[in-house]
Amino acid sequence: MEQEHLIAKQVGAKKASERSQKNLQDKLKEHGLKLPLYPTPQIIERARQVMGSIDFDPTSDPVQQVLVDAVSIPAVDTNPLQEHWHGNVFVSPKGAVKNNRMWFNKTLSEYRNNYINSFVFFTSASELIRASPAVLDYPYCIPFKRVKQLRATPKGFETVSPSTWNLIIYGPPLEQALTNVDRVSLFYSTFRDIGRICFNEYAGDDWHKDLEFYDHKRGDV
Closest to 64 in 3D by CA, of 151, 169, 162, 165? 151
Q: Are 149 and 122 in contact (CB under 8 A)?
A: no
- DSSP code, position 59: T
List the 140-143 sheet strands across, edge first.
88-91, 118-123, 167-171, 140-143, 195-198
**The predicted structure's pLDDT at residue 153:** 81
pLDDT in tens, 9-43: 444 444 544 554 555 455 444 434 457 889 999 99
Residue 221 forms part of a structural domain: no
Shared domain check, 25 and 84: no
Q: For residue 72, give its domain range.
A: 34-216
- Supply the pLDDT for residue 34: 58
> Is 109 domain-assigned?
yes
Q: Are 198 and 142 in contact (CB under 8 A)?
A: yes
2 and 86 in a single domain? The answer is no
Residues 62 and 131 occupy one common structural domain: yes
**Predicted local confidence at residue 14, as pLDDT:** 46
Residue 220 is given by DSSP the state -
The predicted-structure confidence for 54-64, as pLDDT tens digits, reads as follows 999 999 988 89
Task: Determine the pLDDT at residue 119.
Answer: 96
* Residues paired with residue 123 on neighbouring β-strands, in sequence order: 167
Q: Are residues 16 and 48 in the same domain?
A: no
What pLDDT is stored for residue 220 in this prediction?
Answer: 36
The amino acid occupying position 39 is P
Separation between Cα atoms, residue 169 and residue 72, nearest integer Å = 21
Shared-domain flag, residues 93 and 125: yes
d(CA 154, CA 11): 14
3-class DSSP assignment, residue 116? coil
Considering the domain architecture, whether residues 28 and 38 belong to the same structural domain is answered as: no
Residue 89 gets which letter from DSSP?
Answer: E
What is the pLDDT at residue 33?
46
CATH of the domain at 112: 3.40.50
Name the region of 87 (left: φ>0; alpha: ψ -120 to 50; beta: rest): left
Using 50 as the pLDDT threshold, list the residues of the chain that sit under it: 6-14, 16-17, 20, 24, 27-33, 178-179, 203-221
Distance CA(73)–CA(195), nearest Å, equals 29
